[in-house]
């Protein structure tokens, strides 16, 4: 059966019921001896004694993957691509991001406050493209380390006057490992010393062969500084995006990833989320990493208050109990009670993992001393 009373669980574990009640109290569950326990609580307490509860008996209610709703193919709609920019230091990543953002901000928005929320969207030929403003390497390493896949396309910036450098190669390896398509932006074409052929030659040695040389990698020659060639790059992003057939279901509860988060003196926990599937709405009960809350307010990338946002949209939210980490996954639940329970269980689980890790570390230390 999926449920046990406190006394039954105590018997299973060979412990006194009073001890179990105490343990439950310590994780915030008030229970009497004949109370039926939820499976999460059973798993938690059993875990405390190093006892694993069998999979078919208790599902892990803290596992987002396991809880994920699988969409019906017919509910899926085209969504904007999420793009990150990578490349060697000083090759022009920041300049390119700024340049795309500035040239594509519509007249009405130009006077508005463009606030930095770690991601932004532009509209090209009535189609949206989402850019992650975080350094590409961080987006790949920290987010991927946490199991999040956020990038659909990566732009590899290589300065035409400098060529392939160590971080260029590192970026290629990250993108390949994540199986993310690469578009090469050969930057600084305005410079006297620009040598795009050399860049193509050097990248070929790393498996990126330009289309004009018979390969299948798109190369865009541009100048992030002057803006020359940027329109063509954006068109290429849309082209690759179409080939990838990126889809999501806007008519479901939202799931996605934390882009960045911090504690704001006035507003409390502020997190930029990338909605990857579904629609996120003000008032939604939400679990974000190991914290939870209710979406109090949402502000988009141009500083406007919004009530709901669909797939591939970055949005800044308030209303969380604590500050999550970049790369944490988030999931909306049907009611606040469920969000709270799952959030608390996840926090508890994290604490236990930390405790477990600490024990292991200290054992290792001991071993080294011997």
Binding residues for GTP: 87-94, 133-137, 187-190
User: Residue 170 binds which entry of Mg ion, ligand GDP, none, with Cβ cut-offs from 5 to 8 Å by kind?
Assistant: none
218-226, 258-266, 314-322, 340-348 -> range binding ligand GDP (CB under 6 A): 218-226
User: Is 167 among the residues that bind ligand GDP (CB under 6 A)?
Assistant: no
- Residue 206: which of 242, 165, 236, 237 has the closest Cα? 165
Minimum CB distance to Mg ion smaller for 85 or for 183:
85
Size of the site for ligand GDP (CB under 6 A): 15
**Greatest CA separation for the chain:** 82
CA distance 103 to 112: 15
Q: Which of 90, 109, 202, 352 binds ligand GDP (CB under 6 A)?
A: 90
Numbered residues of the known binding site:
87-94, 133-137, 187-190
Q: Which of 3, 7, 94, 300 binds Mg ion (CB under 5 A)?
A: 94
Q: Which of 20, 24, 43, 91 binds ligand GDP (CB under 6 A)?
A: 91
Burial of 252 (0-12, 13-18, 19+ CB in 10 A): middle
Minimum CB distance to ligand GDP smaller for 174 or for 188:
188
CA distance 196 to 219: 10
Minimum CB distance to Mg ion smaller for 79 or for 93:
93
Q: Which residues pair with 82 in a beta bridge?
A: 130
In this structure, what token pair is assigned to residue 98? 């700024």
Minimum CB distance to ligand GDP smaller for 40 or for 161:
161
CA distance 294 to 318: 8
Burial of 205 (0-12, 13-18, 19+ CB in 10 A): exposed
Minimum CB distance to ligand GDP smaller for 195 or for 300:
195
User: Is 300 among the residues that bind Mg ion (CB under 5 A)?
Assistant: no
143-151, 182-190, 260-268, 344-352 -> range binding ligand GDP (CB under 6 A): 182-190
Cα angle 200, 127, 245; round to 5: 70
Helix crossing, 6-13 with 17-26: angle to 10°?
110
User: Is 193 among the residues that bind ligand GDP (CB under 6 A)?
Assistant: no
Minimum CB distance to ligand GDP smaller for 91 or for 329:
91
E-strand stretches of 53-170: 77-78, 82-87, 119-124, 127-132, 153-159
- In whole angstroms, the minimum distance from the beta carbon of 172 to ligand GDP comes to 15
- In whole angstroms, the minimum distance from the beta carbon of 123 to ligand GDP comes to 23
In the complex, the residues that contact ligand GDP under the rule CB under 6 A are 87, 89-95, 187-188, 190-191, 223-225
């Amino acid at each position: 059966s999926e449920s046990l009373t406190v006394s039954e669980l105590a018997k299973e574990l060979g412990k006194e019921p009073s001890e179990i009640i105490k343990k439950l109290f310590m994780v915030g569950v008030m229970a009497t001896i004949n109370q039926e326990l939820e499976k999460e609580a059973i798993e938690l307490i059993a875990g405390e004694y190093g006892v694993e509860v069998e999979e078919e008996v208790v599902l892990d209610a803290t596992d987002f993957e396991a809880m994920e709703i699988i969409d019906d193919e017919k509910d899926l709609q085209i969504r904007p691509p999420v793009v990150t920019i990578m490349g060697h230091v000083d090759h022009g990543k920041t300049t390119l991001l700024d340049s795309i953002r500035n040239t594509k901000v519509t007249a009405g928005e130009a006077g508005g406050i463009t606030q930095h929320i770690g991601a932004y969207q532009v509209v090209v030929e009535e189609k949206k493209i989402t850019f992650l403003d975080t350094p590409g390497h961080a987006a790949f390493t920290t987010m991927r380390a946490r199991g999040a896949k956020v990038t659909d396309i990566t732009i590899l910036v290589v300065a035409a006057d400098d060529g392939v450098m160590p971080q260029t190669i590192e970026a290629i390896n990250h993108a390949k490992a994540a199986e993310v398509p690469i578009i090469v932006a050969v930057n600084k074409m305005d410079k006297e010393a620009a040598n795009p052929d050399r860049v193509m030659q050097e990248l070929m040695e790393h498996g990126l062969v330009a289309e004009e040389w018979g390969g299948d990698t798109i190369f865009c020659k541009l100048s992030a500084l002057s803006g020359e060639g940027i329109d063509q790059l954006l068109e290429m992003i849309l082209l690759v995006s179409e080939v990838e057939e990126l889809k999501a279901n806007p008519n479901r509860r939202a799931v996605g990833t934390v882009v960045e988060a911090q504690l704001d003196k006035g507003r409390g926990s502020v997190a930029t989320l990338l909605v990857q599937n579904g629609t996120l709405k003000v008032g939604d009960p939400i679990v974000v990493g190991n914290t939870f809350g209710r979406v109090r307010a949402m502000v988009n990338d141009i500083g406007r208050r919004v009530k709901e946002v669909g797939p591939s949209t970055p949005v800044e939210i308030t209303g969380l109990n604590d500050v999550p980490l970049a790369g944490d996954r988030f999931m909306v639940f049907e009611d606040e009670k469920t969000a709270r329970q799952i959030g608390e269980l996840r926090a508890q689980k994290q604490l236990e993992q930390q405790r477990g890790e600490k024990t292991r570390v200290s054992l290792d230390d001991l071993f080294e001393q011997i």
